[in-house]
A = this chain, B = another copy of it.
Amino acid sequence: MTVHKYGGSSVATPERIIHVAERVKAAWQRAPVAVVVSAMGDTTDDLLGLLRQVAHDPPAREVDLLLAAGEQISAALLAAALEDRGVPARALLGWQAGFATDGVHRKARIREVDPARVQAVLAEGAVPVVAGFQGLHAGEVTTLGRGGSDTTAVALAAALGCQRCEIYSDVDGVYTADPRVVPDARRLRALSYEEMMEMAHMGAQVLQIRAVELAEARRLTIVARSTFADGPGTEIREVDPTESEMTVRGVAHDRNIAKVTIRGVPDRPGFAHRLFAALAGHGVNVDTIVQSAPRDGRSDIVFTVARDDLPRTIEVARAAAEEVGAESAAAEEDVAMVSAVGAGMVTRPGVAATMFGALAQAGVNIEAITTSEIKISCLIREADVEAAVRAVHAAFGLGHGKA
């Protein structure tokens, strides 16, 4: 038995819901299947649009209750469409499907999945259609954050003891780079969890990063496939070392970042802790952090956050900077991150040099660099993103017909 997850674009219209129902029916005729759905197309944005018209700073609790309606609608419609095609089906809301989360509204984490009710539906020979993205904490509806339905699907697959979780969207897998930017990008047959996390983190918007973390913890294979085409998709799983011989597996980029620079921080212990603890307290996830070596007893700190988080971030950063007597705190939005990702990278010399060389040749200025065991990321101007991705993709020979 498997779990299928269908994303928002896969259920964006009644016609597409019918298409998904046909797909699920075909799968159900072969083996039991449980389904997780996202909200239809732009429903979530539409609901947030309504909300913005009635409230400037809506409480997170009410936002969750509002947004949860989106998956409720798509789950009920898909279950009805399945029933109409002779497939017994039951839509289940997050709390009905046993999803208990923590109490952090809008970014809740799944604490426990009690699959009893989903199993009861499966035992009847019916298809459970679970509303993704939502759970319950102390009688309150919570949501898991953007893309949370992926995590719902993986958590459900794990709770049901499945080996695989198939995540359907409008793309047919994970590519060596965004095919809209790099025309000769190739679909990858398989990626390791770590590689996928770096790719997802850096903007390859195929899978939510927490879903990949969870799949790794439970040793579950995720298959990223297209709803609208047949094809093997990309498997995210333990990758055999022989498969990851290629140093660099892909090039990711992320435009949804903003950069904050705090200059002239007195070189005393504790400022970084105070700043980043305050940001965490405001629910801001900080991505990259670069701190320069101190000069004249002062250093600069550069970090990036998601653009949505910038207003809160700059407020907190300015207050913290003032408190410790830093010189200034400034924000920039027209930045982006380009990353080369690959599990074999750390053991191969020259990868960083190849990347920097490619960027230099393309005339792209690097504003900050960070590295991990499996990726090198460069902060650049947003205007340079496409040139940068193409140059790095070519420099590592990732295109069709190569490697």
Residues of A at the B interface (CB closer than 8 Å) are 14-15, 17-18, 21, 47, 50-51, 53-59, 61-63, 65-66, 68-70, 72-73, 75-81, 83-84, 89-91, 93, 96, 117, 139, 141
Contacts and interface: CB of A to CB of B under 8 A. Distances in A.
5 contacts: A50-B73, A51-B76, A55-B83, A66-B76, A117-B139
A58 to B, nearest CB: 4
Contacts of A54: 14, 17-18, 21, 77-78, 80-81, 84
A53 B12 CA distance: 13
Q: Which of A53, A55, A96 gathers the greatest number of chain B CB atoms within 10 Å?
A: A55
Nearest to A21: B54
A91 B139 CA distance: 12
Contact of A63 (B68, B80, B89): B80
Given A62-B83, A69-B70, 9 more contacts: A14-B50, A50-B77, A51-B80, A55-B84, A56-B84, A62-B91, A65-B93, A66-B80, A69-B76
A105 B79 CA distance: 16
A83 B69 CA distance: 20
Contacts of A66: 72-73, 76-77, 80, 91
A96 B139 contact: yes
A70 B63 CA distance: 15
A300 to B, nearest CB: 38
Copies in the complex: 2
Contacts of A139: 96, 117
B51 A77 contact: yes
Contacts of A76: 51, 62-63, 65-66, 69
Closest 3 CB pairs of A and B: A14-B53, A66-B76, A55-B84
Contacts of A59: 79-80, 83
Given A53-B14, A72-B72, A65 B91 contact: yes
B58 A80 contact: yes
B47 A73 contact: yes
Contacts of A51: 76-77, 80
A366 B90 CA distance: 48
A75 B66 CA distance: 8
A149 to B, nearest CB: 16
